[in-house]
Amino acid sequence: MAKSKTIHVCAECGASSPKWQGQCPGCGEWNTLVESVAETASGHRFDSLAQVARLQVLSDIAAREVDRLPTGIPEFDRALGGGLVAGGVVLIGGDPGIGKSTLLLQALSALSHTHGTVYVSGEESGEQVALRARRLGLDGSRLNLLAEINLEKILGVLNAERPAVAVIDSIQTLWSDQLSSAPGSVVQVRECAAQLTRLAKQSGTTIVLVGHVTKEGALAGPRVLEHIVDTVLYFEGDTHSSFRLVRACKNRFGAVNELGVFAMTDRGLKGVSNPSALFLSQHGQDVPGSCVMVTQEGTRPLLVEIQALVDSAHGNPRRLTVGLDAQRLAMLLAVLHRHAGVGCFDQDVFVNAVGGVRISEPAADLAVILAIVSSLRNRTLPKKLVVFGEVGLAGEIRPAPRGQERLKEAVKLGFSRALVPESNRPRQPIPGLEIVAVRRVDEAIEQLRQFG
C-alpha cells in the first residue's frame, strides 16, 4: 500500500507546510508543527459517515433509547451508564498496574459466550495474555486474541470478523504505516483513534481503547482523543490498596461522575455492591478528627470518612490534603477563623478522605471543618453522626443536591444523627434519624456541644 502524503500543520494557527520547520511560517511560533495526513481529492477520512445535510425540525426526529450491552460486571456497567453501546467508543485510562487490562479481560471473557469479541494486545504477547487469563480463572475458549500493533492489519481483522466488542490495549502502542512518526506520538495516536472511531460508527462494533496517563494523572496524548470518543473512564485508587474506583468523566449515553467500586483480589477485580460499608469498615473508633459525610457520585450516595490532624507547626505551617482540594482547604480555614473564631494559622493541618476516594464536590466542606475542629480541640464527634453541606465565604452553609437520598443512605448504614444545611431539612421526618439543620458555620460548631 502506497503511503499517503503527509504535511506538517501548526497546532496554534493551523498553517501547513510540506516539511517540518522549527518556526511556523504562518504565526511565527516555534516547535508547533506536527505531522498529519494530507487529505486527498477523494475527501476526508470520515466522508463515508457523512450524509447530505438538510434542515430538520427537532420535534420530527424520532428519538429512541440506546440499547445497552451488559458486560457481566455490574459495577463496570454502572460506570458506563448501564452497559456498552453498539458503535460506541470508550476510552479508559489509569496508572500502570492499577487493573485496566485485568478488568477488560474479565469483561470480554464474560461477553464472549454470547457475542463476538476481539482483544487486541499491543503491549503483551499472546502467551502473556493467556497466562493472565489462566491465573484469573477465565474461560477464553471463545475469546479471540490478536497480538498486533499495526493499525492497517488490525482494521483488516476487525472488518473481516465484525465483532460486537473489541478492546485495543493500548492506543499508544499502535502505529499506522501511512505516517513516519513513532508509535505514541501525537499524530499517531490521533490518526489511529480517528480510524478506529470511523470503524466503530460504520460497523456498529463497540471499541474500548486503553490509554496511558501522564505523571499528573491525565490521559497522555492529544486532548482531541477525549473529544472524539463517546465515553471517558478513569481508574482511581492507590496501587498499594485493594480498592479500585472507575469514574466516568464523560459519557454521551449516560450520567457523568458515575462511580464503580472494585476490590482487587487474586482472582481479579470483584465489584463491591455496598461501597459505603467498605469505606467505613474500619470506622467506629472514638478518636478526635474523624467525621463521616455523604458524598454523591453520579446517582450513588456514598458514605466516606474524613480524617483531620491538627498539630503545632514547627516552622511554616503546612496544609496537606489527600483526596480533597488543597486550595479549598485553605479557604475553609480562613472561613473557620473569620466566622467561627477558630484559628489554625500556627498549626499544621492534614486532611484525608479514607479509602482512596477523591471528593470534588463542595458538599464535603462541613465535614472537613468539623473534623478540623474535633482534632484541634481533641474531642470526638458524637457517635453515629453524619454531615454534609457546602460552606460559603460569608460563613453560610449552603444546601447540597439530592439531600433526601443522602439521608436515606445514612439510615441504611445505621446512622442516627445528621447535621445538614437548613435547606436540606426534609419535609417529612425520616424514621430512626435525628436531623439538626444549621445555617452558619458557628451554629454547626455550637450544635456539636448540644448533641451530648
The domains of the chain are located at 1-41, 68-273, 278-451
Element (H, E) at 348: strand 347-353
Question: Is the pLDDT assigned to residue 140 strictly greater than 70?
Answer: yes
- Say which amino acid occupies 82: G
Q: What is the pLDDT of residues 331-373, one digit of tens each?
A: 999 999 999 999 998 899 999 998 778 898 999 999 999 999 9
68-273 topology per CATH: Rossmann fold (3.40.50)
* Cα 2 to Cα 5, 156, 178, 179, 336, distances in angstroms: 9, 16, 8, 11, 68
pLDDT-derived band at 146 (thresholds 50, 70, 90) equals very high
Residue 331 has which C-alpha cell?
A: 479557604
Positive or negative torsion for Cα 49, 116, 169, 232: positive
The fold for domain 278-451 equals Ribosomal Protein S5; domain 2 (3.30.230)
Confidence of residue 439 (pLDDT cuts 50, 70, 90): very high
At residue 89, the pLDDT reads 96
At 5, give phi and psi (nearest 5°). -70, 140
The reported pLDDT for the residue numbered 187 is 81
Convert the pLDDT of each residue in 37-77 to its tens digit. 665 544 555 555 555 557 889 888 887 777 899 999 999 99
Structure pTM?
0.79
Residues 6+ apart with CB under 8 A from 435: 407, 417, 418, 420, 425, 426, 429
